Structure 1
Amino acid sequence: MALLTVSGLGVAIGSVAPLDGISFEARKGEILGLVGESGSGKSLTAFAVMGLLGRIGGRIATGTILFDGQELTALAEPAYRRLRGKRIAMISQNPMTSLDPIVRIGTQIDQVSRLHLGLSKPAAKARSIDLMEQLRIPDAETLHNAYPHQLSGGMKQRIVIAMALAADPDLIIADEPTTALDVTIQAQIIQIMVDLVRERGLALILITHDMGVVAQACDRVVVLYAGRVAEMNTTQAIFASPRHPYTASLIACIPAHDQPEGTLLGIPGTVPGVLNYPPGCRFHPRCAGAMEVCSAEVPVLQSLAPGTVACHLQGMPA
């Protein structure tokens, strides 16, 4: 059963509409990947779910966001504030934007459980240290008194994850959580998050442009392109048989172990800006298989069990 259901979500910022008809589900005990290049709408989707669009001058223009049966699109800010952090938490890609540099890290974790769970100061500290130990932070009691600048990038990200977990949320949105980390630390952080989902039964939305991370961590995948859903499917099906040319192009960009030097593939062109979205399928200017209909008609998101895809090529005879 879905914990979060986003249906037909459209977002407006001023007179432009960067998101159009976004639909997906997130379920407890699974990791859902939101995938696409920069500018595809991944972070904006997260802002909509978190109720933070107003802070960037945006608003929800169409659609619904159901969280555990509760409609969020019309929720007043005070009610959203009680939900945000307690039941829905977010992990940002840069831990330094989430951590106050002049406050001890333990205090920052403690504040979450004191605010949302009503714990006493000693109980909150004990909970924070326990979380830090679960996240494989060595000498947690000592580091509870440290400042952010005294920690490495990987340790800072673990602290941000501890803050997200401190109120025992049902849903975590992780926005490019390993972008600023080296490959070894990336793998450790991703594995920690996978273990947390399996052990705690959380729902995790993992936002990334890295298809390698998707293959390692995600159960299902939503591929976004220029503010629309291109394809949704299980991770296994996405990699075994991608149905949208954009999905196939993203997978083709993953370096192979036996790939000759100097043969790294890319996708020609760039994601169009919101003021320059082309008519029809927004990927058609970059698509090698584009047909005349692709530039004239918006492809409908159609069900092709076990997934869905929005592509005119899928309607063509074999």
Structure 2
Amino acid sequence: MSALLELHGLSVDIGNRSLLEEVSFSLERSQILGLVGESGSGKSLTALTITGLLPLIGGRVTGGRILFDGMDMAQLSDSSRRKLRGGRIGFVMQNPMTALDPVQRIGEQVDVVSRLHLGLSHRDARARTLDLMAQLRIPEAKAVAEAYPHQLSGGMKQRIVIAIALAGDPDLIVADEPTTALDVTVQAQIIQILTGLVRERGLALLLITHDMGVVAQACDRVAVLYAGRLAEERAVGPLFETPAHPYTEALIGCIPRDEMGAGGLNGIQGTVPSAANFPPGCRFHPRCDRAVDICRTTRPAPRPLSDNGGVACHLAQGGSL
């Protein structure tokens, strides 16, 4: 089965800075791919590039290709990309508090997507909106449709943003940190809703997050970004059992566990470097306690792993460190 979404050596610049370099991964229908990494790794930039919104922030693709259902996104006209975005590609914005128009009723913001992309009448669009709200477990859907965003809780706004992404009947949903700023209970509900939609509808979901616990719970495969480069990409089971990159291992080590007790939470020393100060060689080497001379001078080439994954690390051998 061919992949629905394929990134081949994607590179992106903003101004004179290279922010993504040769990023490659693929996503099939009915599959959830977690795109993970700390803030500043390039996750949201990847989402904007996939959805064709990169020019809005002054960015440009400088290398590689993005294929959606076999179509080269770079070769499509602006109008063709707009038809895909909101239609076959749904986008769940990072912050539900600012993603909604504050002066427009909720129902109208959902209705417009199915009217534009499915050609529905006002009446049929509203019926679809109410049906989506019911699927997303929104109580009193008719009253919510008449409300304004400021009248809803954060968790309810997030459900509405997901309804907007679903209204065009997409094949792919790009969800950029859909559980940010929500409490733990609501986070679990949102992830359950998204994974349920993938299984029931056969959608593909690109789930962008910095929460490795969410990845372990929801994803089939994982792509780990660090400072604009792909560190590791594998099935979720092998990645958590035998991480092949020190950065992946460090991220997994940050997941809270019951046995840690008070004061036992792990962290990663240092911060992700800015694009103005990317180090030579492996970009993780200043924070890696295993780095050797070659790590400091030479960029590691991606290498395949025995479990149909890949890693870019000089020290990785056959799938685990």
Taking structure 1 as the reference length, the TM-score comes to 0.98
What letter corresponds to residue 310 of structure 1 in structure 2? A
1:271-282 counterparts in 2 under 5 A? 271-282=272-283
Question: What is the SS of the residue equivalent to 1:181?
Answer: coil
Do the aligned partners of 1:18 and 1:41 also contact (CA within 8 Å) in 2? Answer: yes
Counterpart in the other structure of 1:309:
311
Counterpart in the other structure of 1:20:
21
Deviates more, 1:257-266 or 1:14-23: 257-266
Do the aligned partners of 1:20 and 1:227 also contact (CA within 8 Å) in 2? Answer: yes
Distance 2:253 2:144 in 1: 42
Offset of 1:96 from its aligned partner? Answer: 2.4
Residues 80-111 of structure 1: per-residue CA shift (max 9 Å, x gap): 11111001111012112221111110111001
Distance 2:103 2:47 in 1: 28
Counterpart in the other structure of 1:238:
239
Counterpart in the other structure of 1:68:
69
Distance 1:149 1:13 in 2: 34
Do the aligned partners of 1:93 and 1:180 also contact (CA within 8 Å) in 2? Answer: no
* Number of equivalences: 318
What letter corresponds to residue 36 of structure 2 in structure 1? V
Deviates more, 1:72-81 or 1:104-113: 72-81
Offset of 1:258 from its aligned partner? Answer: 1.6
Counterpart in the other structure of 1:49:
50
Counterpart in the other structure of 2:257:
256
Distance 1:315 1:127 in 2: 52
Offset of 1:260 from its aligned partner? Answer: 2.0
Offset of 1:74 from its aligned partner? Answer: 2.9
1:195-210 counterparts in 2 under 5 A? 195-210=196-211
Offset of 1:302 from its aligned partner? Answer: 0.5
Residues 212-262 of structure 1: per-residue CA shift (max 9 Å, x gap): 110111110000000000001111111111010000000001111121211
Counterpart in the other structure of 1:36:
37
Asked if residue 106 in structure 1 is aligned to residue 110 in structure 2, the reply is no
Deviates more, 1:137-146 or 1:115-124: 137-146
Question: What is the SS of the residue equivalent to 2:316?
Answer: helix
Question: What is the SS of the residue equivalent to 1:314?
Answer: coil
> Runs (4+) of structure 1 moved beyond 6 Å?
none
Asked if residue 129 in structure 1 is aligned to residue 104 in structure 2, the reply is no
Question: What is the SS of the residue equivalent to 2:86?
Answer: coil
CA RMSD in angstroms, aligned pairs only: 1.3
Distance 1:305 1:78 in 2: 42
What letter corresponds to residue 248 of structure 2 in structure 1? T
Asked if residue 265 in structure 1 is aligned to residue 269 in structure 2, the reply is no
Counterpart in the other structure of 1:4:
5
What letter corresponds to residue 294 of structure 2 in structure 1? V
Distance 1:184 1:315 in 2: 39
Counterpart in the other structure of 1:93:
94
Percent of pairs identical after alignment? 62
Distance 2:71 2:224 in 1: 25
Distance 1:151 1:226 in 2: 36
1:114-193 counterparts in 2 under 5 A? 114-193=115-194
Gaps (5+ residues) in structure 2? none
Do the aligned partners of 1:299 and 1:312 also contact (CA within 8 Å) in 2? Answer: yes
Distance 1:112 1:260 in 2: 48
Residues 168-207 of structure 1: per-residue CA shift (max 9 Å, x gap): 0001100000011000000000000000000000000000
What letter corresponds to residue 40 of structure 1 in structure 2? S
Distance 1:109 1:314 in 2: 47
Offset of 1:315 from its aligned partner? Answer: 5.0
Question: What is the SS of the residue equivalent to 2:90?
Answer: strand
Offset of 1:78 from its aligned partner? Answer: 1.6
Distance 2:270 2:101 in 1: 39
Gaps (5+ residues) in structure 1? none
Counterpart in the other structure of 1:80:
81
Residues 248-291 of structure 1: per-residue CA shift (max 9 Å, x gap): 00000111112121121110100000011111100001001001
